[in-house]
Chain A
Amino acid sequence: MSDWDYRPASDLDQGLSERLAGFPREPHLWMYVVRSIAALAIRLWLRLYHRMEIVGRDNLPLGQSFVLVANHQSHLDALMLTSGVPLRYLHRTFPAAAADYFFSSLPRSAFASVVINGLPFDRKTKGAESLAVCRQLLGNPGNVLIIFPEGTRSATGDLGRFRSGIGRLVEGTDTPVVPAYLAGAYEAFPKGALFPRPRKVILRIGEARSYGNLEAGRETVDHICADLAGAVRALG
């Protein structure tokens, strides 16, 4: 008789704050329950208070892993995009969240990991490592990665320059990238506002594209960024 194959959880010897900020996260039943309840509440809030409208939901290539990119103006953005994905993909939808902001303290980490299911993205020093984590995530089927290629919320509401990360992530791969445009979020909840205003918001989802036929390189990365920025802007 051969031995059983045990697989201890990787975070067994970690405290709560470490566990929340770590990635990939080990599953916790209570986390799934809280996230599901929170997601229902968020969807209800967006529908009722912001009268959210979703256009082009059929463009999501559900079932395979894909990247969802959008303009970034407001803290509502990630909530709107996750709400655009069907509820059964909730625990497999990961908005990349700035590690230096969303995982900087225990309450923020708790919110970012339990409610948002955020992927801690180090936009300062370990960008390459964070991209490797994203690649691993996309290597498994059925995962949704949400990225704001501008890297930060726009202070004016205008679309900023797309950083190279998204290009480096998908160059030479067949991973579908879905552009989306968030309209009204800036008016509803701009940077610096304390509480969202009851403005209407719209999520427009464009057609998926992929860049598997392009050779990896600096020019390709720039091309992908420009192409996606154009696609997002075209939806606006």
Chain B
Amino acid sequence: MSELVLGVFDPVFAAYAVFIGGLLIVAGLVLTVLGPIMKKDVSSIWRTYLGWLIMIPALLGALYLGRVATIIGVGLLSMRGFKEFARATGLYEDWWHVVAVYLGIAAVTATSLVADPNTGDAGWYGMFMASPAYIIAALMTIPIIRNETRGQLQRVSLSIVGFVYLGWMFGHLGFLANSEQFYGYLLYLLFAVQLNDIAAFTFGKLFGKHKLRSEISPNKTVEGSLGALATSMALPWLLHFSFPHFGTAELVLTGLIVGVGGQFGDLTISFIKRDVGVKDMGVLIPGHGGILDRVDSLIFVAPLFFHMVRWFHGV
């Protein structure tokens, strides 16, 4: 474990850092050269690029610092994501529920950090998995403590979705940091869901004809979606060094989870936004919208990947 603390000595981390850093530099150069040549306004792309320039060092930095920083980082992202969700739905006006969910996310983060009291393993898996039962029970008691009924079912329901989906399911990403191979798993997931997004966009632009889900996200196409799935299915083999212990079954499942789950995650946040009636969940990251607009795919992918890995290899 000690050699993992200094990520720079980890070949997987170093490979990703060099690769992603290289991509950033190349993209920056291409934008600098292409803008004047194409005589097009690339300022919105620049904003997106600057957003990446902030996010990537922050992500790599947290991972580099090791499991504690990664788990806390995921917890903070969850809280921020829940805040955006609460503000978009109006739940934020009710601070009992907001504070309760914040505490719930903090508790889940704590179960990922502490050692299992029975086995001594990093991360208290049993309590982590049991946490929804406790937190939902706690949320249910809020109307009772306050002796209120009006609108309480709606608030409790929104709180449960907020906690379970944005806190606990996303929290699997943090728990994954307890694994010996956590650099490979996390860096792969972060990279693969982005590539999945980009592939869907690119294939959609090139070949897109049929709308995928016209009511939810009118710009997505079936062609883009299939292109993304194909890309995501191929990627585990290309980046096999991230998880050298994976056999064919794990590689296929990883491709499916990212390729299918990533798109479902994207569409999940999209339908929530459509129902609520907002365009973006926030404006935290320049050119990217809010946290939830950025991590939408990961929320869906993280628990599926986690339990697949755990089934085959343990965490």
| CB-CB nearest in chain B for A19 | B283
Q: How far is the CB of A4 from chain B (nearest CB, A)?
A: 6
Per-residue contact bits, chain A 1-24, to B (CB 8 Å; 1 contact, 0 not): 000111111001111000000000
Min CB distance, B156 to chain A, in Å? Answer: 12
The answer to whether A6 and B90 touch across the interface, beta carbons within 8 angstroms, is yes
Interface residue? A26 (CB, 8 A) = yes
Neighbour of A7 across the interface among B93, B95, B98, B282, CB < 8 A: B93
- List the B side residues contacting A27 at CB < 8 Å: 92-93
- Which chain B residues lie closer than 8 Å to A4 at the CB level? 154
Q: Check A29 for interface membership: any CB of B closer than 8 A.
A: yes
Known: A13-B280, A15-B283. A6 touches B87 (CB 8 A): no
B279 engages A26 (CB within 8 Å): no
Q: Are A8 and B283 in contact (CB under 8 A)?
A: no
**CB closest chain-A residue, reference B275:** A6
Q: Closest residue to B272 on the A side, CB-wise? A: A6
Cβ contact of B90, chosen from A7, A13, A15, cutoff 8 A? A7
* Interfacial chain B residues near A5, Cβ < 8 Å: 90
Which listed residue (B98, B278, B279, B280) contacts A29, Cβ 8 A? Answer: B98
B278 touches A14 (CB 8 A): no
- Name the contact of A8 in the complex, choosing from B87, B95, B99 (C-beta under 8 A): B87
- Shortest C-beta distance, B293 to chain A (Å), equals 12
Question: How near does chain A come to B155, taking the closest CB pair, in angstroms?
Answer: 10
The residue in chain B whose Cβ has the minimal distance to the Cβ of A16 is B283
Contact of B89 among A6, A14, A15 (CB under 8 A): A6
Given the known interface contacts A4-B154, A29-B95, the answer about A9 and B279 at a Cβ–Cβ threshold of 8 Å is: no
Question: Least Cβ distance of B282 to chain A in Å?
Answer: 6
Number of A-B contacts (CB under 8 A): 42
Q: Is the CB of A14 within 8 A of B283?
A: yes
Residues of B within 8 Å of A, CB-based: how many? 19
CB of B77 within 8 A of chain A?
Answer: no
- Complex CA gap A190/B154 in Å reads 53
**In the bound complex, do residue B90 and residue A8 qualify as a contact, i.e. CB atoms below 8 Å apart?**
yes
Complex contact A12–B89 (CB within 8 A) = no
Q: Mark B85-117, 1 if CB is under 8 A from A, else 0.
A: 001111011010011000000000000000000
B 270-299 contacts with A by CB, 8 A? 275-283
A8:B154 contact, CB within 8 angstroms? no
Q: Is the Cβ of B87 less than 8 Å from the Cβ of A13?
A: no
A7 surroundings in chain B (CB, below 8 A)? 89-90, 93
* Complex interface: chain A residues within 8 A of B280 (CB): 12-13
Given the interface pairs A26-B87, A27-B93, A29-B95, the reply to whether A8 lies near B276 with Cβ below 8 Å is yes
Tell me if B93 and A8 are in contact (CB < 8 A): no
Q: Which residues of A contact B279 (CB under 8 A)?
A: 13
Closest beta carbon of chain B to A20's beta carbon, Å: 13
Instruction: Please determine whether B95 and A12 come into contact, CB atoms closer than 8 angstroms.
Output: no
User: Do residues A12 and B278 form an inter-chain contact, with CB atoms below 8 A?
Assistant: yes
CA distance A15 to B88 in the complex (A): 15
Distance A27 CA – B280 CA, assembled complex (angstroms): 19
Contact B92 A9 (CB under 8 A): yes
Cβ contacts under 8 Å, B278 to chain A: 8, 12-13
Residues of A within 8 A of B88 (CB): 6, 8-9, 12
Across the interface, which residues of B come within 8 angstroms of A13, CB to CB? 278-280, 283
CB distance from A198 to the nearest CB of B (A): 38
Within the complex, the shortest CB–CB distance from B74 to chain A, in Å, comes to 20
A-binding residues in B (CB < 8 A): 87-90, 92-93, 95, 98-99, 154, 275-283
Interchain residue pairs with CB less than 8 A apart (27): A4-B154, A5-B90, A6-B88, A6-B89, A6-B90, A6-B276, A7-B89, A7-B90, A8-B87, A8-B88, A8-B276, A9-B87, A9-B88, A9-B90, A9-B92, A12-B88, A12-B278, A12-B280, A12-B282, A13-B278, A14-B283, A15-B283, A26-B92, A27-B93, A29-B95, A29-B98, A29-B99
Shortest 4 CB-CB contacts between residues of A and residues of B: A7-B90, A9-B87, A6-B276, A8-B278
A6-B275, A12-B282 known; 13 new pairs, CB 8 Å cut-off, are A6-B89, A6-B90, A6-B276, A8-B87, A8-B89, A9-B87, A9-B88, A9-B90, A12-B280, A12-B281, A13-B279, A29-B98, A29-B99
